[in-house]
Amino acid sequence: MPPLTITTIQTKLEWENKAANLQMLGKKIDDLEEKTEIIILPEMFSTGFSMRAPELAETMEGETVQWMKEVATRNKVILTGSIIIKEKDRYYNRLIWMLPNGQFGTYDKRHLFAYAEEDKYYTAGNKRLIASVKGWKINLQVCYDLRFPVWARNQSVDTDNPAEQHPGDSPAAAFNAGANQEYDIVVYVANWPERRNHAWKTLLCARAIENQCYVIGVNRVGRDGNNIGYSGNTLVIDPLGEVLYHMADEEDVFTITLQKEHLEEVRTKFPFWKDSDHFTLH
């Protein structure tokens, strides 16, 4: 399986100022010198984590989705991050997975942050989005979702096939079943406050270890309009929980190439997925 190159953008955001944020992010993306295939932006990258949904929401035909199409097409990349969307009189914290050809997928944040009253203004989603790129499967999630491991749990897509679940499987058979895991990478886009950064870093590592996958957590820095500080701590973590990249406090644009061979080696050598509990999400 070919490698996959991903760029993370950890940045300050201008509070509720779409024009300024889109201009700033567009410049960062256009100025990239390294070739990349996927660019990941923070949660609510055009506004900051605002509860003023009625004033700030857009439709799927709005300026930010159009901006994403133009940027993805111009730079020949996949672009992702979440924005505030209005649909049928409801508001969503919606992640957009924008392809360079203008096609896109969406994921509505499942777990709304009641501590900040997000649940009073937004509607929770109920479906995961697992995208596919060059044979890689990528589970896309948003911020507070990180605290709920069941929603991210990686399972075999062939759980009803005894031949792929038998304890006596050879390493080759074990690899084949491991390759049928639901996803290979889980991405969290976030506005995760500095005061809880220990939980952020710990849980990202836990998701990588328990799901035997790469984990990418992209957070913002700076302060928002509610005077909440963000320390970033954007992380890329391998399937063993080893940190491949970590940046705190500063703005940073980072590009990394992930190797499928390493993922396959981990799942083959340590086939822990075979002993996991199988369940259905509702």
Mind telling me the catalytic residues?
43, 109, 143
> What does DSSP assign to residue 156?
B
Beta bridge partners of 239: none
**Can you list the positions of beta strands (E) in the chain?**
4-10, 38-40, 78-87, 90-98, 104-108, 129-133, 136-142, 185-189, 214-218, 221-223, 229-237, 243-248, 252-258
- The single-letter DSSP state of residue 110 is S
Contact status, residue 129 vs residue 120, Cβ threshold 8 Å: no
User: What CA–CA distance (Å, rounded) separates 69 from 75?
Assistant: 10
Rg, the chain, Cα only: 19
Beta strands in 44-177 (DSSP E): 78-87, 90-98, 104-108, 129-133, 136-142
211 and 229 in contact (C-beta within 8 Å)?
Answer: no
7, 36 contact by CB (below 8 A): yes
